[in-house]
Chain A
Amino acid sequence: MAGSDLFVGTLDVLILKAVSWGPTHGYAIGRWIRQTTNEALQVQEGALYPALHRLQRKGLLDEEWGLSETGREAKYYRLTAAGRRELRAEAARWHEHAKAVSLALSAAKP
């Protein structure tokens, strides 16, 4: 996923979005990103994990351990208040960015 074809920070904001509906474990986060981006951002699935731990260290994510759908103990991530604020700010930034780029690309010859 994270790689040269991905803007820096894109993975982070996708992770924040993935956990925004409630505690989610790493596998579910990865699956959600793959599916919602139509597997377009597929590089190395494992890169998800250092990003998760980094976000946790920054205090944007918190951890809980619980049983997964298959009955196994799994680590669940959950947005902290700071994480929610970060998600809101980053999403706004992305929309701005996308709007600007799309405006520029659809412009007619001056």
Chain B
Amino acid sequence: MKRMFRLSIGERGVRRDVASEIAFYIDMRARELIADGRTPEQARAEAAAAFGNIARIETACRDERRRDVRRRAWREGVGSVAADVRYAIRTLVHAPGYTAAALFTLALGIGANSAIFSMVNGVLLRRLPYANADHLVVLQQPVASLGIGDIAFSPLEVADYRAAMPRTEIGEYHSMSFDLLGHGEPRHVQTGVVSADFFRELGVRPMLGRTFAAGEDKDGAAPVLVLSYQFWVDQLGADSSIIGQSFTMNDRQHVVIGVLPPLPPYPDRNDVWMPISSCPFRSSPQVKSTRTARMVSIIARLPDDTTPADAQRRLALVEERLQTTYPDAYKGVSDARITATPVHSSMTDSARPAFLVLLSIAGLVLLVACINVAHLTLARQLRRQRELAIRVALGAGRRRLLRQLVTESLLLSIVGGAIGLLVARVAMGALSRFASRFTVRSDAIVLDWRVTLFALGVAIIAGLVFGVLPIVSDRQDVVTRLRDGASTAGTGRVRLRGALVVGEVALAFAVLVGAGLAVHSFARLLETAPGYDPQNVVTARLVLNFTKYKTRHEMRALGDQLVRRLEAAPGVTSAAVANAFPASSSQPRNLSLFSIRGQPAPDSLHQPRAEVNVVSAGYFKTVGVPIIAGRAFTADDRDTANVVLVLSASAAHRYFPHESAVGKQLSFNNGKSWSTIVGVAGDVRQFGPAVDVPEQVYAPFASTGTNDLRILVRESNRAALGARLLDGIVHSIDPLQPVIDVETLEDARRDVLASPRETALLLSGFAALALSIAAAGLGGVMAYSVGQRTSEFGIRMALGAERASILRLVMAQGISLVVVGVAIGLGGSLAFGAGMSKLLTGLPRTDPLTYASVAGLFLVVAVLACLIPARRATAIDPASAFRAS
């Protein structure tokens, strides 16, 4: 009888086969020769000689055999995997309900994870587009006593640091807005002003032309401009002939020398860049000679062997020396302490905790999803017992069967992952907007190969988890039991399903608590009275061209005229100009130091300080800030020598706790002149309700003035005054004045609240996902359990049990699972809440209201999820239940 295949071929098999084949040949050949008349010895010798070098031929044969074996093994493998996949597709198509439910759950779970990972990838993992990114640090001078993150540096200080740290490249930066004329309409551009070596230091190569050359930042150098990629594309239509052309800026011709590649908007979103010599403020003699003219930032490139910590230690020594040498320059900021922060962390530090919390929440959601699919799979395997038993009977081995089951789950999870990537793609825009609240790197959030790989990896892990979990976590091996032909599930299996539900509920509870905390903290922000009335107020910003409005008098004249014309416009209740308005910026601006007449002057560190707002007479009425004591400004408050002031309530309370502030005097110039307080206004939470109320001092615009004007118009009804009308009024006074940032006060306030709102929304989305998946899981398990206990319930009812007691029985079973899950989730989320608190504002992480309401919600959902199967249990007809069993 012939053996068909010899497939057990290992290395030893190959060796044996080849040797025996050749021995056979030589034997047969020798026989032939013996038949011809040779002696056996002669025959063997002759046969071997004719054959040639046996060892070499064997080697040659073995090489061919080995290659053949490998080829067959590969084909075999691919072939059987392909067969498995084909079979899996067939069985999954025949179970459309299971397939759809599993795919839907997996797509959401994997999609959520891929989307969040794309944020982590883009912002935290991807390299910055600076060649020298690893050695770049941003230097800052935080002042703890003022709560200011950075008081910036003066050009004189920059020169001192540069001289003291010769091996460190010190780049100078600040940003200003200017009007750009030429090439179409006047544009108001944000301009980065830098030292000539700035881009070389970062390691940025221009996309077109060149960046600044050494010496181009020296006084008297011809003014030049480098364009940002975004500005070049959006405003100039990516016209490459722009190099060499010139724009008028600040009454001077500026030649365009280059275009930058796409870069993150760091340190600010600048449209164009110029060397410091081109900036009229930076190159003014006063700025260059004043040690306190702190208007620039420093980005430094450290030598390769220096860590940021080393650099910071050395910089601190320099700063200490400067403080000793120039004590006057550090008046009020003597506790300034220089820091060196890697540029990458300064871009991403505020995003990191939020993203990691989101990623872990997404991970929990995926875990819940996996458990749910594991449930579905478990239930399906029980239904498939007959099919699987037949396959076992036909000789499918345990491994083969397991492989088939795992192939099915992997197929599901990979297809689910692909759909999930599509889901993530859809969410990408919204996520990028969300991330832009935390980091300038939000542009880098894209679906790249790393995100795709991540999704694939997550899909495979998920597939293994939900595919293998039901098989291996059971005490009794599924295959063994199938082979034994058992038809009903053992108690171990019921217990496993219970455990899965408990786990699911616990995870979903933790996610829900996270979302609940975010929603609650956001609701609290909304409830907080802002201290002003943002309804029906339109704002706009005019940054006055300094070449036209040289003196404060000219600025005041423009402001007066504007207010008069605006108030005359139809539909306008009142109008005002100011240097800021509530929620016009998200950070408190620099504070001014003052002294109080009749109170002893404390040391400079503890000198009173407040934010000074320059506002026109109609401001309080227009913005809706109440006057609590004294009076508001009037049109007659225009004395520039004896300026009158209005204090905010918190400032008045702090500095005049036991008496009225009205009539008291303050000085902002060390007593050279005194200003009288005429009124006290209500507190305004202008940096969003999250930040403590800033202490404010208001001064009349008519006696001070500002070149950064905010127009405020209160209208009789919403949108009575269109943006175009507002433009028209401004341009009727100055046709060349760009009007920017037109928005309503409500929009501005919404912007300040956007970050917590979007966090709450995002987390709520996750929570809804987790809750519905968990509810579906619970409902499924209860339905299954009722199905299993049909005959038991039938017997109970036949023995006289009331329907209500059956209902109670089923409900009690479901709810006890939920209660255990909630208890576990509670413990977990208390630990988890520590991370959450980074994302939230003004809320303790053990907020009992949130925990209680989430637990309540869970019980309601659990009751609903159990109700349907429970009602089915009560509808059992005892007679038919007996028949069925």
Chain B nearest CB from A26 CB (Å) reads 5
State whether B2 touches A45 (Cβ < 8 A): no
State whether B4 touches A53 (Cβ < 8 A): no
The answer to the question of A10 belonging to the interface, with a C-beta cut-off of 8 Å to chain B, is no
Chain A nearest CB from B534 CB (Å) reads 80
| Separation of A42 and B25 alpha carbons in the complex (Å) | 16
The answer to the question of A5 belonging to the interface, with a C-beta cut-off of 8 Å to chain B, is no
The answer to the question of B51 belonging to the interface, with a C-beta cut-off of 8 Å to chain A, is yes
- Which residue in chain A gives the minimum CB-CB distance to B2? A66
Asked whether A46 and B68 contact (CB < 8 A) given A66-B2, A73-B20, the answer is: no
State whether A27 touches B24 (Cβ < 8 A): yes
Chain B nearest CB from A69 CB (Å) reads 9
The answer to the question of A13 belonging to the interface, with a C-beta cut-off of 8 Å to chain B, is no
In the assembled complex, which residues on chain A have CB atoms less than 8 Å from the CB atom of B2? 64-67, 76
The interface centre, meaning the residue of A27, A42, A75 with most chain B CB atoms within 10 A of its CB, is A27
The answer to the question of A109 belonging to the interface, with a C-beta cut-off of 8 Å to chain B, is no
| Cross-interface CB contact of B52 among A44, A57, A76, cutoff 8 Å | A44
Q: How many residues of B contact A (CB 8 A)?
A: 30
State whether A45 touches B51 (Cβ < 8 A): yes
| Separation of A54 and B66 alpha carbons in the complex (Å) | 11
Asked whether A56 and B54 contact (CB < 8 A) given A45-B29, A72-B24, the answer is: no
The answer to the question of A70 belonging to the interface, with a C-beta cut-off of 8 Å to chain B, is yes
State whether A57 touches B71 (Cβ < 8 A): yes
The answer to the question of A89 belonging to the interface, with a C-beta cut-off of 8 Å to chain B, is no
Chain A nearest CB from B840 CB (Å) reads 67
In the assembled complex, which residues on chain B have CB atoms less than 8 Å from the CB atom of A73? 20
State whether A26 touches B25 (Cβ < 8 A): yes
In the assembled complex, which residues on chain A have CB atoms less than 8 Å from the CB atom of B71? 57
State whether A47 touches B24 (Cβ < 8 A): no
State whether A49 touches B24 (Cβ < 8 A): no
Give 1 or 0 for each of B10-50: 1 = CB within 8 Å of chain A CB.
00000001101110110111011000000000000000001
In the assembled complex, which residues on chain B have CB atoms less than 8 Å from the CB atom of A50? 57, 60-61, 64
The answer to the question of A36 belonging to the interface, with a C-beta cut-off of 8 Å to chain B, is no
The answer to the question of A37 belonging to the interface, with a C-beta cut-off of 8 Å to chain B, is no
| Separation of A42 and B60 alpha carbons in the complex (Å) | 20
- Which residue in chain B gives the minimum CB-CB distance to A64? B2
| Separation of A76 and B27 alpha carbons in the complex (Å) | 16
State whether B50 touches A45 (Cβ < 8 A): yes
State whether B68 touches A44 (Cβ < 8 A): no
In the assembled complex, which residues on chain A have CB atoms less than 8 Å from the CB atom of B54? 46
| Separation of A87 and B159 alpha carbons in the complex (Å) | 88
| Cross-interface CB contact of A56 among B4, B27, B64, cutoff 8 Å | B64
State whether A53 touches B24 (Cβ < 8 A): no
| Cross-interface CB contact of A45 among B4, B18, B24, B52, cutoff 8 Å | B52
State whether B57 touches A47 (Cβ < 8 A): yes
Chain B nearest CB from A23 CB (Å) reads 8
| Cross-interface CB contact of A46 among B20, B27, B51, cutoff 8 Å | B51
| Cross-interface CB contact of B57 among A49, A66, A75, cutoff 8 Å | A49
In the assembled complex, which residues on chain A have CB atoms less than 8 Å from the CB atom of B51? 44-46
| Separation of A68 and B344 alpha carbons in the complex (Å) | 77
State whether A30 touches B60 (Cβ < 8 A): no
State whether B25 touches A53 (Cβ < 8 A): no
In the assembled complex, which residues on chain A have CB atoms less than 8 Å from the CB atom of B18? 49, 53
State whether B61 touches A68 (Cβ < 8 A): no
| Separation of A50 and B53 alpha carbons in the complex (Å) | 12
The interface centre, meaning the residue of A31, A50, A52, A74 with most chain B CB atoms within 10 A of its CB, is A50
Asked whether A46 and B53 contact (CB < 8 A) given A27-B24, A64-B3, A66-B2, the answer is: yes
9 A-B Cβ contacts within 8 A?
A: A27-B29, A44-B51, A45-B50, A45-B52, A53-B68, A56-B64, A56-B65, A65-B2, A67-B1
Which residue numbers of A lie inside 8 Å of B, CB to CB?
Answer: 25-27, 30-31, 42, 44-47, 49-50, 52-54, 56-57, 63-68, 70, 72-76
Q: Other CB < 8 Å A-B pairs besides A27-B24, A44-B50, A50-B57, 17 of them?
A: A26-B25, A30-B29, A45-B25, A46-B22, A46-B53, A52-B61, A53-B68, A54-B64, A56-B64, A57-B67, A66-B2, A66-B3, A68-B24, A70-B28, A72-B24, A75-B24, A76-B2
